[in-house]
Structure 1
């Protein structure tokens, strides 16, 4: 991805970045998070803990600043994410922060993300 495309995607509103995320992670069958002796977390502003996820390494690296400055992008297999991560996050009452860009993010419930991923992946069968 060239710099111009990278910056154009980052400038999109959270709902458009969410749609981009769903399509890209379904295409490449991987999700990216930030890791440093544990996964990066954030607060959604309402006291709920969430974990940020990104559609590729470059977007994750872009958010490895401020409180996440020591974190490194790590990939997660999409099917492992669906089968293990999301059920664990739901159990732990964690929300999902999809594709933050250092100014805003799409915060979604696990069930909504799961539904949207399954809907997108059905197109690949």
Structure 2
């Protein structure tokens, strides 16, 4: 990875604030772009992955494009959870099919003040494949 890529990924406080205040749809697009570039996805982990629920009670697997964003959400019910990366390949080949089978939605780019988007696993796979084809 080039220096420029690394510095773009390491986020300062102002950049963090700028991104977490974006509307959920823009954070979703940023997630897809960044994950396709870095080939890694971040979740929160402590004796199991951090899960949330939609208003109707559907389970959601929370994920982020960088550890800094996941770390911001390691509070309240996720207190004590740590950011943990996994390869994009694992998301595409293992996790998304498993989520689909279990009826769990991907929770894209939660922030302390907003739940983020919950696309279907298929929708997320299509968006990621489309983005990966650009690179």
User: TM-score normalized by structure 1?
Assistant: 0.97
Question: 1:1-125 alignment to 2 at 5 Å?
Answer: 1-104=11-114, 105-124=116-135
> Distance between the aligned counterparts of 2:113 and 2:63, measured in 1?
15
- Give unpaired runs (5+ residues) of structure 2: 1-10
| Residue deviations 1:5-40 (CA, integer Å, cap 9, x gap) | 110000001000000000010110000000000000
- Partner Cα separation in structure 2 for residue 74 and residue 49 of structure 1: 19
TM-score (norm. length: structure 2): 0.90
What's the offset of the Cα at 1:103?
1.9
- How far is the alpha carbon of 1:87 from its aligned partner? 0.4
Structure 1 unaligned spans of 5+: none
Number of matched residues? 124
Query: Hey, which bits of structure 1, 4+ residues long, moved more than 3 A?
Result: none
